[in-house]
Amino acid sequence: MADFELTKHLRMPAATKIVQLVMDGLGGLPREADGKTELEAADTPNLDALAARSQLGLAMPVRPGVTPGSGPAHLSLFGYDPLAYDVGRGVLSALGIGFDLHPEDVAARGNFCTIDENGLITDRRAGRIPTEFSQKLTALLSQIELPGIKAFVQTVKEYRFLLALRPTQGQTLYANIADTDPQKTGVPSLPAVAEDEASEATAQLVNEWIAAARDILKDHAPANSLNLRGFAKDPGFPKFPDVYGLRAAAIATYPMYKGVAKLVGMDVLAVDGEEVEDEVETLRAHWDAYDYFFFHVKKTDSAGEDGDFERKAGVIEHVDAAVVPAILDLDPDVLIVTGDHSTPSALKSHSWHPVPTLLWSRYCCWDGVHEFGERTCGRGSLGTFPATDEMQLALGHALRLNKYGA
């Protein structure tokens, strides 16, 4: 049976509410001192009490041993197998900076680079120019005009930028275009080559834009040229509200997570501030209007990426105190507490480790373990399970799935 077909077949309406609380990069690794992970070391009385009445498990974002990026990791939590639902790099770049990508846009990831007097690439990253310098260049490139096209150019970070082409006269653009980056130095950039007939006109436009851009950049060494990679359009995934029959809202403060939520058709709610308390306010204000909330906490991941065990544990403690009781006060029917992936401070990066996860509902056969941590989840009754199962488990526990067969 195709993806989502069973879910769409069985789902039924109900007046129940589901919250998926995602602490980004939640999973961690033991520290030397006492063998505790960040989550285990954190003092989390509310999560521990909740765990005692929940099922515990470890959620695998992609496949065993595989470390996910943020986009694939979130798609997985929303029930979309990231190997089947592939988002092009251009679209991920747009999501990452909160660019309002339209379905008709073609997006690409751009890299400034350095070329010598013969046009051969000498540095594929233009000496990693500072973001401020990059922003001046993308402002200049934004002035390029193409017939029937609006070309958006925005800095991502350092030498990386986003190019998005939007048709203004109803024409259709196609994104099956090869990278111009030859992936090595000492050779010239490649032209943008269409990989199917439909994409030829778009590739031609891209080449015109590249020529104009290089003309502008030629005096801005080390960023005196550029390459484009990962041409892509909005992949047109099945929409989350349609798949699950849920009015769905996303509460997040960072562009990437709002972007992925938007990609699957959730309403992205405005948050007045950057703190989890502000996100809780948004949740309260919209509680009645939605059936499902994706509630994203960013700072666990940032602390893990910085290798700061104590700070990561502190963020978890803060969520335990400021978010968990507030959500429970709203009386949800299903609450899942999880992460999109692990970000152990020991590794200072995303990792492949499956993520501690708790599923609470009044109809769950709770494990009765009074602690939410990697080790208790590793012995939990959910086992090590694909993160893509979470939404369907949530629907079941929310009494939103009909019986299969008579």
Place of tokens 């996100």: 279
Stretch that binds a second copy, among 92-100, 215-223, 282-290, 308-316 (CB under 8 A): 92-100
Q: What is the DSSP letter of 184?
A: S
Q: Tell me the CA distances in angstroms from 343 to 25, 70, 148, 204, one per residue in order.
A: 4, 11, 44, 42
Binding mask 358-397 for a second copy (x = CB under 8 A): -----x-xxxx-----xx--xxxxxxxx---x--xxxxxx
Q: Which of residues 40-59 bind a second copy (CB under 8 A)?
A: 55, 58
Q: What angle do CA 255, 272, 250 make, to 5 degrees?
A: 50
Q: Which residues contact 2 (CB under 8 A, 6 or more apart)?
A: none
CA atoms of 282 and 209, how far apart (whole Å): 42
Q: Give exposure, 48-59, as e/b (b: 16+ Cβ within 10 Å).
A: bbbbbebbbbbb
When asked if residue 352 is in the footprint of a second copy (CB under 8 A), the reply is: yes
Write the single-letter amino acid at 19: V
Binding mask 96-125 for a second copy (x = CB under 8 A): x-----------------------------
When asked if residue 344 is in the footprint of a second copy (CB under 8 A), the reply is: yes
**Which CB atom, from 205 or from 394, has the smaller least distance to a second copy?**
394
Q: At what angle do helices 45-52 and 309-322 cross, to 10 degrees?
A: 70
Contact 120, 186 (CB under 8 A): yes
Minimum distance, C-beta of residue 367 to a second copy, in the bound complex (Å): 6
When asked if residue 405 is in the footprint of a second copy (CB under 8 A), the reply is: yes
Q: What is the DSSP letter of 168?
A: S
What is the residue-wise DSSP string for 362-388? TT------S--SHHHHHTSTTEEEEGG
Distance between terminal CA atoms of the chain?
Answer: 19
How many residues in the shown chain lie near a second copy by CB under 8 A?
Answer: 64
Decide: helix, strand or coil at residue 209: helix
Minimum distance, C-beta of residue 46 to a second copy, in the bound complex (Å): 20
Q: At what angle do helices 255-263 and 70-77 cross, to 10 degrees?
A: 50
- Answer for which of 37, 111, 224, 345 binds a second copy (CB under 8 A) is 37
CA atoms of 197 and 177, how far apart (whole Å): 10
**Which CB atom, from 97 or from 221, has the smaller least distance to a second copy?**
97
**Which CB atom, from 111 or from 114, has the smaller least distance to a second copy?**
111
Token couple for 186: 């000492």
CA atoms of 40 and 28, how far apart (whole Å): 9
**Which CB atom, from 254 or from 352, has the smaller least distance to a second copy?**
352
When asked if residue 302 is in the footprint of a second copy (CB under 8 A), the reply is: no
Contact 93, 109 (CB under 8 A): yes
When asked if residue 206 is in the footprint of a second copy (CB under 8 A), the reply is: no
Q: What is the DSSP letter of 147?
A: T
Q: What is the DSSP letter of 177?
A: B
Stretch that binds a second copy, among 70-78, 167-175, 277-285, 316-324 (CB under 8 A): 70-78
When asked if residue 133 is in the footprint of a second copy (CB under 8 A), the reply is: no
When asked if residue 77 is in the footprint of a second copy (CB under 8 A), the reply is: no
Dihedral angle computed from the Cα positions of residues 116, 122, 126 and 128, in that order, rounded to the nearest 10 degrees:
-150
**Which CB atom, from 45 or from 368, has the smaller least distance to a second copy?**
368
When asked if residue 71 is in the footprint of a second copy (CB under 8 A), the reply is: yes
**Which CB atom, from 175 or from 401, has the smaller least distance to a second copy?**
401
- Answer for which of 351, 357, 360, 372 binds a second copy (CB under 8 A) is 351
**Which CB atom, from 133 or from 352, has the smaller least distance to a second copy?**
352
CA atoms of 384 and 386, how far apart (whole Å): 7
Minimum distance, C-beta of residue 307 to a second copy, in the bound complex (Å): 14
When asked if residue 68 is in the footprint of a second copy (CB under 8 A), the reply is: yes
- Answer for which of 13, 64, 170, 236 binds a second copy (CB under 8 A) is 64
Minimum distance, C-beta of residue 66 to a second copy, in the bound complex (Å): 5
**Which CB atom, from 156 or from 297, has the smaller least distance to a second copy?**
156
Interacting residues toward a second copy by CB under 8 A: 1, 6, 10, 27-30, 35, 37, 55, 58, 62-72, 82-83, 87, 89, 92-93, 96, 344, 346-347, 350-353, 363, 365-368, 374-375, 378-385, 389, 392-397, 401-406
